[in-house]
Structure 1
Amino acid sequence: MAVIIPPISTCLSRMTSGERRFARRLESLLEDDYLCWYDLPLGDKRRYPDFVILHPSRGLLFLEVKDWKPSTLKKMNHSEFELLTPNGRKVVPNPMEQARQCSYEVLKVLERDPQLLQKNGKYGGKLCFPYGWGVVFTNITRNAFDKGIPDEIRQRILPGHLMICKDEMTENADAEQFQERLWSMFNYQFGEKLSLPQIDRIRWHLFPEIRIDQGQLDIFQENEEQASSPVENPNIPDILHIMDLQQEQLARSLGDGHRVIHGVAGSGKTLILGYRCLHLAQALNKPILVLCFNITLAARLRGFMYARGIDDRVQIYHFHDWCGEMLRSYHVAVPNGDAPIWERQVESVINGVESGSIPRGQYGALLIDEGHDFEPAWLQLVTQMVDPDTDSLLLLYDDAQTIYRKKSALKFTLSSVGIKAQGRTTILRLNYRNTREILDFSYRFAKQYFTQSDDPDVPLIEPEAAGKSGNQPAVRKFNSLDEEINYCLRCIEAWNNKGKEWNKIAILYPGGSVGEKMASALQESGIPFLHLKNSAKKKMYSDTAELINIIPIPSSKGLEFDTVVILDGSFSPRREDGDEDGLIEDVRRLYVGMTRAQTALMVSYHRNNKLAHSLATIGDA
C-alpha cells in the first residue's frame, strides 16, 4: 500500500470526488515503496500539482486530476481549454501543459544538486532518475476521447500515453495495468534505483518546510547566478537533515480539535510544532499562541517564526511572561502576599479569567511545548484561551523530561484540565538527535527513576535510536571544581583548533556557582560566550551566534548542540542522601542535559554522593 501524504482521511473536505477516487487507487494499487503527495506547494511560484509520485526505481511523476465530463469540453488547444460550466463558458489552462510546466520548474531546482546527477557516460550531468507528467480524467473514458477528438489533435494536445481515463482507474482495476499506465508517462527508464539519501534530498528540495537545517537559503528563490550555473550550488549542504516520513505525515495530518504528541527526547516534537505554526498562520485569522516553560526555548522559537515571516501572527511566550502580559494588558492587579510573585501572577490571571476581566477565546490556536512541566491549574487556564469556533490545541509532552514538578510523573489526566484528546494522541518513539551511544548512555543512567503517568493516554515510552553511531560519552572524575573547569577549557580550545565552531559547543550545569566560574575562565581565555544566567540573558539566546553558550540544564530543554559538556554533574542542591524525591529530580535533570548532545558528550564531577556513584557506574559500564 502506497504512502499518501497527507493521509486521505485528513484532506477529504478539499478533494474533488475524482481526486478522492484516484487517491484511493494510488493507495490500494501501488506498493508500499511508493510515496505520493497530494496538493502541496512546490517551487518559488508555489505551484500546486494535484499529485506528486516518487518511486526509487521508477522516478518522479507530476499529475493533474480533472473531473470534467465529455459534455464539459468545448474547445482546446496547446495552452487553453474552453469549458461549459453552470456559470457559462470558462477558459482554463491546458492541464497537460500545467503538469509539464510544474515539473520543469521543480527539475531546474533538482538539477542544481550534484548528488542527484549522473556522474559519467552519455547522460553525465543530467538527473540520475526518470521523470514525467500527465493528466487523469476521472469522468471521461478512453473510448470517449477516441471518438470525440480527432486523432491528430488528440496526439498533439493530449497524447494518449500521458493520460489515465475513468475506465482505467476503477475499483477493480488491475494493479499491474494501472502501474503500467503511470509509468508509460516517462520517455525513458534507468536501471539504477535511488538510494534513501537521494530520496531524502529530493524531499528536501521539493518541500522546504520539512527541513531541519536552520538558516538555509530557500533554493526555490532563484537568482541570476544560480540560473546561470545550474549544477554547482554552494548553498546545498552535503548532508541534509529533514523530517522523516512519520514526522512529515504527522505534521501534515494534524487536524482540528485537541491533539497530543507524546515524544521522547530528540524525536522532533518542537520541529512539528514549528511546522504546525506555519500551517495555522495561513489558515487562521486570530493570532496563534505558543507557550513553553523555558525562556531560552521561547527565544529560539521566536527566531524560527521571524525567519519564516510569521512572527506577526504567532505569539510565543514563556508561560509566566504570558501571565504578566495578560495582567498588564487588562489592568489586573497582583495582590500582596508571602507567595513568590510568579505564583501570585498566575493566580491573578486565573481569577481574572473567572471574573471576566481577562477574556477567554483570544487565540485561534494554542500550542504548548514542554507540556510535562505545566501544572494542572496552568493547563486548565490556558485551554480556555482557545477560540471555541476553531478549538485548535496541540500539546507536546515527554514525561521523562519532567524536572520542575515535585512528583516526577503526571498525576492528573489531561481530560481533567480541559484537553479533549482521547484517541488523538500520537507517540513518537524514535530519537533522531543523539548518537546511539549517547542515547543508550543517558537512558541507562536515568531509566530506573522514570515513573508511569496516571493518564492512560500518556504512557511512559522508551526511546529508540534512529541516529548514527559515534563515540562513547566520556565521564571524568576530578578532585575539585577548579580541575573540572580547567579540563573543560583545554577540551574546548582543542576542539576549536580542530575546526569545531564555538556555537556547536554548549557547557551545561545542574546549578550552583560553576556557571559563573566557567564564564570567568572563558573570559580570561578570550573565548566568546553567553552565560544564560537570568531571564534577560536567556532571551538573548541565538543558535547562530558565534559563541559558546553556558546554560543551566533546565534552560537547555528543547535545544541541541553538536557537543555538550556537563560540569559539576554530581551537584545536588542542599539534599540529604536519603532524599529520594530530590535524587529523582537530580537524575532527571542530568538526563535532560545529556540528551542535548548530538554527537559528543562529556560529564565531569568531583563530589562524593549517590549521583557521583551513579555517574561512576555508568561511566565504567
Structure 2
Amino acid sequence: MGISAHARRQAERQAGELVAARLPDLGAPRRRVLTALVARTIESWHVFVRDDLPAPGTADAYLIGPGGVFAITAGALDDAAARAAIRHAEDRFAGLPGLHGQVVSGSAVHFVIVGGEAAGHWQVPEAELGKLFRRDALHLDRRRVRAIVDGVDGVAGRLRGYAPFAVAPPRDTTVSEGLLDAETLTENEVEAAQHRPFDAWLTLLHPQQRAVVTRRYNGPARISGPAGTGKTVVALHRLRHLARTTTGPLLFTTFVRTLPLVHRATFERLAPEMTGRAEFTNLHAWARAFLASRGRAVEVDNGPVRTALSKAWRAHRDELGAIEPSNQYWETEIDRVLKGRGITTFDEYARVYRKGRRINLNARQKAMVWRYFETYQENLADKELHDHNDLLAIALGELVREPPEKPYAAVVVDEVQDITLIGLRLLRQLAGDGPNRLLLVGDGQQQVYPGGWRLSDAGIPIQGRGEVLRLNYRNRVEVLTFAQRFDAMNHVDDLDGAAGVALRDAEPASEGGEVRSWRGTAADLPAALLSEVDKLPVPRGEAAVIAFHHRDVQRCTEILRKAKIETRSLDHFSGESDDRLKIGTVHRAKGLDFRAVLVVQTTDPEHGDGDAGRERRELHDRQHLVAATRARDFVWWGLVGNTAG
C-alpha cells in the first residue's frame, strides 16, 4: 500500500515548478534534490529551504517527518563547512519541545550530503534519496511530527532564513487497494512501525536524557537507574555525539555475548553515517581479538574447564559441603570473587569484602576455599587451560605492558553490573585518562549473576559524574506495576555504594498494558503456552518466551516446534525484524525489550535456608524483575509447579 505512481508524478511536477519559481538561479543538482524532497510533502513530510542558496556552513534544507529530522546539503563540502553545518543544525533543533515533556536531541539530527562527501555526514547518492523515506525507519507519529514542525516554525530564530516549501496533495493519492488518503496511509505505516522496540527515542528524549548525551565529563562517568528508564538509549545517543566530536575509534561493549549485535543494528538506525566508526563487541570477544593481534591467542574450552572445576570440587567437597552443600555456590566464589576480582594471594582474599555474598566466612573457612581454588588452578595448568577470567586478566596484563598504538577516543559499557571486577579494570585501562573517555551504564537491581563490587574497587572514580534516570519509558503502567512486586533488592546502590533508585520508585510514562498469570503442572504447560501464543495481542515476531533455566527453554522450544510455531533463539538474535517468536533465558534477554513477553517459571525448591538460600532468593528475584521488565505492553507469567493451583 502506498501513493500511486500517477500521484507521485503530479507531486514532482508541482514541486519542480515551485522550486524553479522561488529559486530561479539555483543550479541543476540542487534543484533536482530539492524537487525530490518537496514532492514528499504530500506524505506528511515537511521541508524548509534556505532562501539564499548556496550558503556554505548551513544546510540547504531541513526535512522533518515520520523518519525524523534531516539537515540536507547537495554537493561537496570541505571539513570546516561540514562542521559548521553540523553545529548550525544542532543549535536549531536541540531542546525543541516535542510531546509529553520530551525534546528533540541534537544528536538525533541526521546530516545528509547528497552527491558529495563530507566528514560526519550521511553520504547519499542523488539516485538513492529514497533511503531517507524507507518504511523501516519510521518512528514518529503525526502528532510528534506536527509538534516539531510547529516548534521550529513558530519560535523566532529557530529557522531564520528558511521558508516552508510544500505542494498540495494531488487528487489521485490513492492506490488500487483502497480509498485512503496519503496522510492516512503514512499514519498507518508509522503506527505499525511504532510497534517495534526503539521508536520515538530516535529523535525525542527527556530533557534530563538529552543533557547527559552532550555533557562534558572530566573523568569516568556512570548512568544508572531502574529498568526501562532509557539508559541504553542515552548511551547510544552519546556515542553518536562522541563520534561527531572526536576523531579516534569508539568502543561499545557489554558482558552479554549477543547484545552488541542488537545495539549495532540499533545504532545503524540512529546514525547510518557512523557505520564502521564504532566497534560493538562483548568484552570477552574484544579481549580474545586483542590478544590474537598481539600474537597471544587465548581460547577458552568450556568442556575441559568444567572438568577441571568438577575435579577440584570432588577433592574438597567434604570440607566445603559442611558449610554449604551446593557446589554452585563455591564455583561462584571462584568465578566472581577470587578470579573475578583478580585475587592472587591468600592474604588478599582474607582481607577482601565479598560484596553480594551472604555467607560470612572466617579465616579458617576462607583457607578451605583457597585450597579448593589452588586445586582448580593446578588442574587448569596441568592441561594448559584458561577460563574466561584468565582471558580478561591476560588481556589486562598485555594492555599494561603495551597500550594500543591507536587508543579509543571513548569506551561505552552497557549492563556494567554483570561485568566482573577484573573486567572493569581492563576497561579502565583501555579507556585511559581524560574527559569523556569512559561511560558506564547499569543498574544493580538488574544484576543476574551473583556477587558484586563498587566502581571504586576498580579504581574508577565517579564522584560528581553520576547520573540517575527515574522515568520509565518502556513499560506501560500495568506491566511496570506487576514488575514492581518483585522485591529484588529494593534498597539498591548506584554501583558505588551510594543510594540508588529502585524500580518501585520509577515513574511510568505510558498508561495501559496488560498482565495475565497462570499456574499449573508441567503436563498442563503445553496447552497453556500454546493458548497464550495463539491469543498474543501483538505479532509473534514482536514477542518473546523467557525462562530461567536452559532446560525450560528447551522444553518450551520443543512444545512450540511440535505445534509448528517458528522460533528464533535469543542466542542468535541480532535485533532484526522477522515473524518468529523469540525464545531464550533471562540472561540472553538482558538489554532487550519486546511488545509482549511470555515468562515460564519453574518453581524452584532449591533455595534452602540460611544465608546461601537468601542469596539465591535475591538473585532469582532480580532475574524475575529483569524478565518482567522486558515487556512493553503485555506479560503472561506462567508458574509451573508439581500441582495446579
Do they fold alike, i.e. is TM over 0.5? yes
Q: Distance in 1 between matches of 2:437 and 2:107?
A: 28
- Tell me by how many angstroms 1:325 deviates: 1.2
Contact 1:369 1:396 in 2 (8 A): yes
Match of 1:306? 268
- Are 1:586 and 2:620 matched, yes or no? yes
Residue 461 of structure 2 aligns to which amino acid in structure 1?
K
Q: Distance in 2 between matches of 1:510 and 1:268?
A: 24
Residue 599 of structure 1 aligns to which amino acid in structure 2?
D
- Are 1:468 and 2:477 matched, yes or no? no
Which one has more relative contact order, counting CA pairs under 8 Å at least 6 apart? 2
Alignment match of 2:590 (pick from 543, 551, 557) = 557
Q: Distance in 1 between matches of 2:547 and 2:580?
A: 17
Query: Percent of aligned pairs with the same residue?
Result: 21
Per-residue CA distance 1:450-504 (angstroms, 9 max, x = gap): 5546834562444423232335522211022x42232111111222xx6x21121
SS in structure 1 opposite 2:484?
helix
Matches within 5 A, 1:252-291: 252-255=214-217, 257-291=219-253
SS in structure 2 opposite 1:367?
strand
Q: Distance in 1 between matches of 2:543 and 2:244?
A: 36
- Are 1:372 and 2:395 matched, yes or no? no
Task: Return 5+ residue gaps in structure 1 as ranges.
Answer: 1-43, 46-59, 65-77, 81-91, 114-193, 533-537, 617-621
Per-residue CA distance 1:508-562 (angstroms, 9 max, x = gap): 0000412112112222222221123xxxxx2443241221110100111111111
- Are 1:602 and 2:566 matched, yes or no? no
Per-residue CA distance 1:306-330 (angstroms, 9 max, x = gap): 3424231111111111111112111
Match of 2:600? 567
- Are 1:520 and 2:558 matched, yes or no? yes
Structure 1 residues 423 and 94: alpha-carbon distance in aligned structure 2, compared to 1, 3 A threshold: closer
SS in structure 2 opposite 1:558?
coil
Alignment match of 2:487 (pick from 437, 446, 457) = 446
Q: Distance in 2 between matches of 1:334 and 1:109?
A: 50
Residue 603 of structure 2 aligns to which amino acid in structure 1?
S
Alignment match of 1:415 (pick from 437, 453, 456) = 456
- Are 1:494 and 2:540 matched, yes or no? no
Q: Distance in 1 between matches of 2:567 and 2:167?
A: 36
Residue 590 of structure 2 aligns to which amino acid in structure 1?
K
Q: Distance in 1 between matches of 2:106 and 2:241?
A: 19
Structure 1 residues 288 and 259: alpha-carbon distance in aligned structure 2, compared to 1, 3 A threshold: same
More helix by share: 2
Residue 399 of structure 2 aligns to which amino acid in structure 1?
V
- Tell me by how many angstroms 1:366 deviates: 0.5
**TM-score w.r.t. length of structure 2:** 0.57
SS in structure 2 opposite 1:275?
helix
SS in structure 2 opposite 1:237?
helix
Matches within 5 A, 1:542-553: 542-553=575-586
Per-residue CA distance 1:177-218 (angstroms, 9 max, x = gap): xxxxxxxxxxxxxxxxx9974986x949995579xx994249
Contact 2:224 2:494 in 1 (8 A): no
Q: Distance in 2 between matches of 1:195 and 1:203?
A: 6
Contact 1:332 1:352 in 2 (8 A): no
Q: Distance in 1 between matches of 2:105 and 2:220?
A: 29
Q: Distance in 2 between matches of 1:323 and 1:476?
A: 43
Q: Distance in 1 between matches of 2:398 and 2:440?
A: 24
Match of 1:345? 391
Residue 190 of structure 2 aligns to which amino acid in structure 1?
P
Task: Return 5+ residue gaps in structure 2 as ranges.
Answer: 1-32, 35-45, 68-95, 112-133, 146-165, 174-181, 300-379
Structure 1 residues 489 and 450: alpha-carbon distance in aligned structure 2, compared to 1, 3 A threshold: farther
- Tell me by how many angstroms 1:255 deviates: 4.6
How many matched pairs? 421
Per-residue CA distance 1:350-386 (angstroms, 9 max, x = gap): 2222333x63872110000011112222111111112
Alignment match of 2:474 (pick from 409, 433, 443) = 433
Per-residue CA distance 1:103-138 (angstroms, 9 max, x = gap): xx44x746x89xxxxxxxxxxxxxxxxxxxxxxxxx
**TM-score w.r.t. length of structure 1:** 0.59
Alignment match of 1:392 (pick from 428, 437, 441) = 437
Structure 1 residues 209 and 577: alpha-carbon distance in aligned structure 2, compared to 1, 3 A threshold: farther
Residue 363 of structure 1 aligns to which amino acid in structure 2?
Y
Contact 2:98 2:104 in 1 (8 A): no
Match of 1:535? none
Structure 1 residues 361 and 205: alpha-carbon distance in aligned structure 2, compared to 1, 3 A threshold: closer
Alignment match of 1:216 (pick from 129, 137, 140) = 137
- Tell me by how many angstroms 1:93 deviates: 5.6
- Are 1:505 and 2:543 matched, yes or no? yes
Q: Distance in 2 between matches of 1:206 and 1:370?
A: 22
- Tell me by how many angstroms 1:249 deviates: 2.9
Alignment match of 2:186 (pick from 234, 252, 258) = 234
Residue 584 of structure 1 aligns to which amino acid in structure 2?
E
- Tell me by how many angstroms 1:416 deviates: 3.8
Structure 1 residues 438 and 79: alpha-carbon distance in aligned structure 2, compared to 1, 3 A threshold: closer
Contact 2:254 2:415 in 1 (8 A): yes
SS in structure 1 opposite 2:556?
helix
- Tell me by how many angstroms 1:94 deviates: 12
Contact 1:434 1:595 in 2 (8 A): yes
Per-residue CA distance 1:63-114 (angstroms, 9 max, x = gap): x9xxxxxxxxxxxxx959xxxxxxxxxxx9699xx8xx97xx44x746x89x
SS in structure 2 opposite 1:530?
strand
Q: Distance in 2 between matches of 1:464 and 1:593?
A: 17
Structure 1 residues 205 and 292: alpha-carbon distance in aligned structure 2, compared to 1, 3 A threshold: closer
Match of 2:296? 332
Q: Distance in 2 between matches of 1:540 and 1:454?
A: 29
- Tell me by how many angstroms 1:283 deviates: 2.2
